[in-house]
Amino acid sequence: MARFTGKVAIVTGAASGIGKATARRFAAEGTSVVVADINSTPAAEVVDGINSDGGKAFSVACDISQDAQVQSLVSFAMKRFGRVDILVNCAARFLMKGGMEAKEEDWREVFATNVAGTALCCRYAAERMKEAGGGAIVIVSSISGMIADPNYATYSTSKAALLMLARSLAIDFGAWNIRVNAVSPGAVDTPSLKRALERESLSQEQFEAIIYGRQCLRMLIQPDHIASPILFLASDDARAITGANLVVDAGFLTGK
């Protein structure tokens, strides 16, 4: 399949996890991909892998909480490819603190990246999409933005804000044929999850026993399982879908 031949996609947070899987899937389907991440070395490694497999990708070091860096990211895509058709927002700060623990700087830090940074990426990419007659934006939120858990106030609140951001931008950008949707994953087997388990002193086996007891499907979601619905929402197959939130959680929320 080559649903995206000739298209150009920017994927933020693409050095690992869901972003990496998404960038690789886009490239495999004919997309020219700008791999954006604050961590330049692993981002360059993702690009090397894509290009060695016959795809086309370039990496850009970008801290999306910085307006000037986001503008430079979009400008790079325009100079290199002359267009931006797709934006996938995976970049995030996994800062998890409870309401009695989080300080002012914690709230500022998590919202600067997860909310303001994502909004800036959408704004500057949408400006270029508007000029070209349309495009697709996918924002990666989380089921943590839909349910509350102890000591997750900072992260969960920022992810909930992303769900409203997707709906709001769908309204703001719809007149220019720019679709904006969200994907809300459950627990995904990523480096961020592994770091979270280390903080909680949980083994992989212990975590899987807990999660399997709460999900409908006894499986550990993989990054590629999230990349597939992201590509769907970015494709013409979803041409009539905007302002939606697609939950991919192996049934975790079903009994909630």
Q: In the beta sheet, which residues pair with residue 182?
A: 139, 245
Task: Name the active-site residue from 124, 152, 155, 212.
Answer: 155
Other beta carbons within 10 Å of 195? 11
Tokens of 135: 């495009």
How would DSSP label each residue in 181-239? EEEEE-SB-SHHHHHHHHHTT--HHHHHHHHHTTSSS---B-HHHHHHHHHHHHSGGGT
Q: What is the DSSP letter of 252?
A: G
Tokens of 69: 């860096």
The answer to whether the beta carbons of residues 118 and 165 sit under 8 Å apart is: yes
Is 155 catalytic? The answer is yes
Locate all alpha helices (DSSP H) within the chain, ordered by sequence. Answer: 17-28, 40-52, 67-81, 104-111, 118-132, 153-173, 191-199, 204-212, 223-234
Q: Please give the biggest Cα pair distance in the chain.
A: 51
Spatial neighbors of 211 by CB under 8 A, at least 6 apart, are 187, 220, 252
Residues with catalytic annotation? Answer: 155
